[in-house]
Structure 1
Amino acid sequence: MGIKSFQGARKNQQSNEEDIPFKVKDFMSTKLITFRPDQSVEEVIDSLISNKISGGPVVNDKNELVGIISEGDCIKHISESRYYNMPPEDDRIESRMVKDVETIDGEMNIFDAANKFLNDKRRRFPIVEDGKLVGQISQKDILKATIMMKSQNWKK
C-alpha cells in the first residue's frame, strides 16, 4: 500500500497582485528625522547618534528636499578641521550636505528599487511627491519587504 498524504483544503491558487504590496510606497518610512540647512554639523552628529541612524534628508521650511546629510559628510567636516588644526569655517550642514540628491518614485516596484540600491550603491533614497518629501526607503526596508512577501507568496 502506498503512502497517503493529506494536505487539507487548499486555498484558491489564483493570486491577486493588488492584494500584495509591491511598491516602494508600501514599504517606505514616513516618520523621518529630517534636518534643516542652517543646523550645525554638531547638532546633526548628536541626532545621528541618539537616533541610531546613518543620515537623513535635509528640507527647507516648505518640506521640500534640498539635500541629504550622512555620517560620512560629518566625518569629512571634522577631519578637515582637525587636519588643518583650525576651527571649522562654516559649521552649517548646508555647506556639507549632498545637494544633488537622487530620488525614486513611490510607485516603483520594490524589486526595481532593490536593483537600484545595488547599482547606485546608496543606503537610502528619498521619495518626493509634488515637490515635497513624503518618505524614504532604505536597504533595510527592502529586506523587510522581501521577508514579508516571502511569507505571503513564496514556498518556505
Structure 2
Amino acid sequence: MGIINFQGKRSPVQKDNSEPILVSDYMTTKIISFKEEQSIEEVIEALIKNRISGGPVVNEKNELIGIISEGDCMKQISESRYYNMPIDKKRTVGKAMVREVETIDGNMNIFDAANKFVESKLRRFPIIKDGKLIGQISQKDVLKAAIKLKGNTWKIE
C-alpha cells in the first residue's frame, strides 16, 4: 500500500499584482436625474417606470444640488392625504428634495465604499468630478463588484 494524499492538486501560487478596485469601475454613468422645477408626480412616475428608488437633482450645468427619494415622495403623498388634497402639481422636487448630499470619490476603493454604505445606511451616492455629476454608485453596484470578484484575492489599498 502506498501513501494516499488527500490534499488534492495545488495551483501554483500567483503573485498578486492586481490594482485596487475603484468605485469608478462599477459606478453607473447613465443616471436618471431630476430638475428642481419638476413635479413630484413626474418623479414618482419616473421612479416606477425605471424601477429605481431615487435619484440626484441637478441644475442646468449638471451640478448636483440635491437628491430625491421614494421616501421624499412618500412624505408629499402623506401631506396631501393629511390636507385631503390630491398631489399638488405645484409640489416640486425643489421643495421635497434633500439638499445636503453625501458624495463618494470615484477613486475610492470599492471596499471603502461598501463600508461607507454600511455606516450611512444610504442606498446610493452621487459621484462628482470638477463640480459636475459624472456617476452614481448604489449598494447593488457594490454587490455586483463583490460577485464579479468572487474567488479572487481582494486587494485592499
The alignment's TM-score, normalised by the length of structure 2, stands at 0.88
Q: Which runs of 5+ in 1 are unaligned?
A: none
Q: Which residue of 2 aligns with 1:95?
A: 95
C-alpha deviations, 1:130-154, integer Å up to 9, x for none?
0000111111111111111124337
Give the total of aligned pairs: 151
Give the distance between the partners of 2:58 and 2:97, measured in 1 at CA: 11
Q: Which residue of 2 aligns with 1:147?
A: 147
Task: Tell me, yes or no, if structure 1 residue 45 matches structure 2 residue 47.
Answer: no
The structural deviation recorded for 1:6 is 6.5
The alignment partner of 1:150 has SS state of coil
Query: Which runs of structure 1 show a deviation greater than 2 angstroms over 4 or more consecutive aligned residues?
Result: 3-8, 86-90, 151-154
Give me the CA root mean square deviation.
1.8
Identity score, percent = 62
The structural deviation recorded for 1:81 is 1.3
Q: Which runs of 5+ in 2 are unaligned?
A: none
- Listed as ranges, the matches of 1:5-154 within 5 Å are 7=9, 10=11, 13-18=14-19, 21-86=20-85, 88=88, 90-153=90-153
Letter in 2 for 1:109: N
Letter in 2 for 1:7: K
The alignment partner of 1:17 has SS state of coil
CA contact (8 A) 2:41 2:89 kept: no
Give the distance between the partners of 2:145 and 2:59, measured in 1 at CA: 30
